[in-house]
A and B are shown apart, each in its own frame.
Chain A
Amino acid sequence: MTTAEFNNVVLPGTDISHIIFKGDICKRNEKTIGPGLKTMDNKIIVCNSGVLRCKDDKYFWVEYYKKKYIPTKDDVVVGIVSSKTSEVYKVDIGAAELATLPNLAFTNVTKKNRPDLKVGNVLAAKVKIATPYMESSISCVEYANSLILGQLENGFVITVSVNYALKLKKSSSSLLFSLGQFVPYEIVVGANGKIWINSGSIRATIAIGSAIVNAEYLEEEDIQNLVKRFNKSLNNLH
């Protein structure tokens, strides 16, 4: 789509049905609306201020800045254990409520062989149940070919906005790759904006964390400069 209507700023309360349907009423059933849009009285209304996006002339959504994570099924999130009972762990995943993690929702765990997590431990998990009317439920069970989930030992957790976390997960983001050229590190980027980093030394871990935080609003060229500066400061340490 190259028309002027898309990639433009829209405000809540704006009726955009005329942009989406644009004459072809017969194709009504094929259109899909996503985040930031809602239907009301047969009209499509914007409900978040951001940029209107369109894909294949079929999918429409509003891209907007948000810091608060709203759980979505099958998202991989990073959480911090905040309390435990005999049956479940309560995990802070940055959403409105704590998520529940059943004791048995781990790989190779039986009733006799329980996982040993303590309050304050960090873990990677997948969201299994996500509805606003219930506590969300997460699980660390791994299947064949799935990501490695479970406790993340050592390391350091930083929190960024949800949009930035999604941007980092995209393959087009060069930052994580460029940082890896200079220092080996492990990273888990949760869809909830929590990022877990671990590397050989504490100083390098903190340097990577601050580089990621600082790169949030930078353009691609500036990221390269930031990475160069990052490398210089790391070398000075040795």
Chain B
Amino acid sequence: MNSPQCKLGYLGNTEGSAFFSQGKTAVCVSVVGPFEPKASKSMYDRATVDVTFRRKTGSISVHDKMLEGIMQSTCEIALNVEQYPRTSIVVTVQEMQDRGNLLSTCLNASCMALIDSGIAMHHLYAAVSCAVTESEEIILDPDELQINSSVAYFTLVFSNSETRRLLTSHTTGEFSHSTYVHCMDKCFAASKEIFNFYKNIVKKSSIFN
């Protein structure tokens, strides 16, 4: 797998931010909040989580809107929203460079930014992408060419709980059930690497040692 790179606290005026790159894809995420939202958006028993995805140029397409929805539900389930009632938490994901695996990079970057913000979370999450070739070969973290020539492409998100917990699954293309299970095993093993990476980054940026 391509080793990811990350810088926490990249933006000064937000509560949490991260610049994250995996392979040739890079995104920048900011987390603002919890702050007081408009009365119409406020919920009396929990925080509202808002994820916005932004392209380098122009407005976002329908496909991007779907990615935004995936990120939103993954972030929301990871955050301890009950601890911040009547507030709003806004996560903004800015694409910096897209060379494949955009969704998994965005998800991992948003997780790092949430870590940086100090907002309480139930668990962390790590996204892993894999492509399946015509000869049923599974490529973890494929590049752009490999994705285009693949028959199926998965992005799977796991939590860091002790048991295996699949949070999100986004798939394109045709595949058999056994291929899916196979990919899940491989991606789960790869997600451990990402959690280790998270831990190293937190260790490095910790100011309390």
Measuring CB to CB, which residues of chain A are less than 8 angstroms from any residue of chain B? 7, 9, 11-15, 36, 38, 45, 47-51, 63-68, 96-98, 132-133, 163, 217
Q: With A and B bound together, what is the CA distance between A98 and B209 in angstroms?
A: 34
Interface of B is mostly: loop
Q: A9-B206, A13-B121, A97-B36 are in contact. List 20 more A-B contacts (CB 8 A).
A: A7-B209, A9-B202, A11-B199, A12-B78, A13-B159, A14-B160, A36-B120, A38-B80, A47-B80, A47-B121, A48-B118, A48-B121, A49-B198, A50-B118, A63-B208, A67-B15, A67-B16, A67-B118, A96-B36, A217-B207
A9-B199, A11-B160 known; A132 vs B207 contact (CB < 8 Å): no
Which interface residue of A11, A48, A49, A163 has the most chain B CB atoms within 10 A?
A49
A13-B159, A67-B15 known; A163 vs B207 contact (CB < 8 Å): yes
Chain B interface bracket (under 10, 10 to 19, 20 to 34, 35 or more) = 35 or more
Cβ contacts under 8 Å, B162 to chain A: 15
Q: Please, could you name 5 A-B residue pairs with CB atoms under 8 Å apart, sorted by A?
A: A12-B123, A13-B123, A50-B206, A68-B118, A96-B36
Measuring CB to CB, which residues of chain B are less than 8 angstroms from any residue of chain A? 15-16, 33-36, 44, 78, 80, 83-87, 115-124, 159-162, 195, 198-199, 202-203, 206-209
Select from chain A the residue with minimum beta-carbon distance to B83.
Answer: A132
A9-B203, A12-B123, A51-B206 known; A64 vs B80 contact (CB < 8 Å): no
Cβ contacts under 8 Å, A12 to chain B: 78, 115, 120-124, 160
Which interface residue of B33, B115, B198, B207 has the most chain A CB atoms within 10 A?
B207
Q: With A and B bound together, what is the CA distance between A133 and B199 in angstroms?
A: 33
Select from chain B the residue with minimum beta-carbon distance to A53.
Answer: B208
Partner of A11, one of B80, B83, B118, B195: B195
Nearest CB of chain B from residue A220's CB, rounded to whole Å: 14
Cβ contacts under 8 Å, A163 to chain B: 207
Cβ contacts under 8 Å, B117 to chain A: 66-68
Q: Is there an interface contact between B202 and A49, defined as CB atoms closer than 8 Å?
A: yes
A96-B33, A163-B207 known; A11 vs B85 contact (CB < 8 Å): no
Select from chain A the residue with minimum beta-carbon distance to B116.
Answer: A65
